[in-house]
Structure 1
Amino acid sequence: MEKINWYGASYGSLTGQMYAELFPHRIRSMINDGNMDHSLDANRFLLSEAGFVEDSYQQFLQWCAQSTNCAVHGQNVEAVFAQLLRKAQAGVLVDPSDGTLVDEWLLLDATQFRFSRPRWVELGQLLSSLNSGDAGAGQPIRRTSRAGAANTPAGLVADVRPHFCQDWAVPYQTFDELSRAYKLSLDAAPRMRASVTALSAVTQCFGWPGLVNNPQHKLHVTHTPTILMMNGIHDPQTGYSWALNAKAQLGGAASLLTYLGSGHVVYRRTSCTQAAGDRYLMDLAVPATGATCPADDSTLTGADDLGTTSNDLARGWN
């Protein structure tokens, strides 16, 4: 019998979970990297996602306070961002690179997008540019946010919205119902407001005419080889609590490798994470229980911050 070797990143981890439930006997190896927790109802989904981006924002603030590679180092960065957000809400925040107005949600989207790699150097440059009005060498914010991904081939391929509504039962039917859910997000993320990715995914299911073919449920997986899960402790999209919940549901069917750093999905993040993944895929060698990989901050020096590509724009639940 032919068997698959599977690597699923972010939303692809949910596909991997589904495959393991349906066809456990067809799996040779399976890595789920950046793990979805498909047992959550819509409220807990939005609430946890808000907490993840708030945590990533705090990680950025701490880095910026310590690193001279941050363009707003030495400033009260939290106050700078709060002022930018107020200007965006008032309709007076201008992108100096192209003169267009930046609204609240575009600012939040562009900020949260830069948590994923993470692109903290680039985020500091963006905040400095918006705050000073000096365009510098920056690209227009609309081209370097997740909102711009829909206009790129990579973004269209990676866009999860067409199938999100078939995987998640969303009970909101009115603006008031969504507003109450949004207020829950504000409690979890007073500075980031909400996860733009999660909120946009939920709202686009309003009026969904089709069936929810794969509604939320706890995982039931048996008779698979050990599934290797990978997750960072400061993941802005698929947070560590999701990985822990999914691991608890899988029980002995999975092993969790923890990356002790920031950013979304980790297989290619460091030599440690890639070596663990490679050994598993090639030899089915499972990391020891509780195995971790240290954080690697080489991308936060500016040397590896080489600009935004269409593939980067596709990162969300890619």
Structure 2
Amino acid sequence: MTLAQDAAATRASAHARVESVYRPPHPLDLRRTVGMLRRGPGDPTMMFDGPVIWRTVRTGLGPATLALRSVGAEIRVSAWGDGAAEALDLVTALCGAEDDATGFDPSSHPLIAEVARRSPGLRLARTGEVFDALACAILEQKVTGLEAFRAWRLLVTKHGRRAPGPTPRPLYTAPTADEWRLIPSWDWHRAGVQPPQSKTIVRVAERGARVSRALLATTSGDDRDRVLTSLPGIGPWTSAETRIRALGDPDAVSVGDYHLAHEVGHALSGHRTDDAGMLQLLAPWAGHRQRVIRLIYASGVSEPRRGPRLTPADHRRH
């Protein structure tokens, strides 16, 4: 660590703590609700430390760090940084307060009915961070999770900002759209990001604020897809992944995912299916298809692996 980095780390840790308590009017499983936002165990923007979830936030007043802990029926929150007060305002949406399950009927399938009964605290988190969700999803296009998580870790650590607070390990806020645009080609290459993905992130970053405003103003899945897929390099899969993280969209389905159709088919019908078959199986829950997918993952029911894992390719050698 350089002297400048050491000084920045010292300043980051020196912020006073601000505290708050959120008392959700419904059961809340904090780990299953907020934890799904973590991009791998080395995510530089988020980590688990026993019962505490640490998450960095970029606000209009500056970087902030949140520490969330579930205690009884309360979520106790601490925040550090210039943007601490603004970050506290984001906690309720992060904990699924805006998730509306009206009209969801799990009773038409025994597995979904049982998991819904056992998991009343599973909510859909909403971050409101449209560009961050887009950048994550673009990095995950056509690569393994390990490759995408590594790229996210390397790029955010180098080009993001050190987050404030006494985090168990150094955490960082994700780069702003303007900062993503300035990442040099060699850093993309070292992170193993292919040119189509890096160019897509840069192009989206050029209109990041407009895209965020347009997406946050939409109210239907079709309109959300229309906004996102109008961007070069953004297809239905990337759109759905963005909707899930940024908006907590209860109906988004990641069509084109390498594993998802197989997992849904196995859980709901006992055998593999393709994307068309998955959509047919999920059709009874229109409006809540992502909620059903989350319940499937929470069930622990998973299709047995039939072959070796896909080996990540090292594009840095080329």
Superposition TM-score tier, normalisation by shorter sequence? under 0.3
Indicate the structure whose relative CO is greater, using CA pairs within 8 Å and at least 6 residues apart.
1
TM-score when normalising by structure 2: 0.25
